[in-house]
Copies of this chain bind each other. A is one copy, B any other.
Amino acid sequence: MVLAKVIGTVVSAHKEERLAGVRFLLLDKINPATMQGKGDLVVAIDGLDAGPGEIVFFVAGSSARLTAVTDGKPTDATIIAIVDNIEIGGKYVYQKDKA
């Protein structure tokens, strides 16, 4: 899975019918060592009501369909976790409640 920051939204009225009612967020992949965005943006389906600025991770590939909101839907990127803490080498590099 890949860590990313929620930076925006994508809206489409004309889309594959199986995607009706689905919410699309724009994510920027981050380097957790620095918590900086990589400028590598991806559109992901959100089933966790993630908000702007939140750190999440998403799942790619066929597993992106294995969530409560994406079963049977054509997705290759679905947010599956809103991150509370990231620890590297025993030190927190990110703590949501201190962000």
Taking a contact as CB atoms closer than 8 A, the residue among B26, B63, B86 that contacts A10 in the complex is B86
Taking a contact as CB atoms closer than 8 A, the residue among B12, B41, B93 that contacts A84 in the complex is B12
Q: How many residues of A contact B (CB 8 A)?
A: 59
User: Is the CB–CB distance between A67 and B18 below 8 Å?
Assistant: yes
CA distance A78 to B19 in the complex (A): 13
- Shortest Cβ gap from A79 to chain B (Å): 8
User: 0/1 per residue, A28-58, Cβ < 8 Å to B?
Assistant: 0001110000010111100110001000010
The residue of chain B having its C-beta at the shortest distance from the C-beta of A19 within the complex is B80
- Shortest Cβ gap from A47 to chain B (Å): 7
On A, residues with C-beta under 8 Å from B are 1-3, 7-19, 24, 26, 31-33, 39, 41-44, 47-48, 52, 57, 59-68, 72-78, 80-90, 93
Besides the known contacts A1-B24, A12-B81, 4 further A-B residue pairs in the complex with CB atoms under 8 A apart: A1-B76, A3-B41, A15-B48, A74-B80
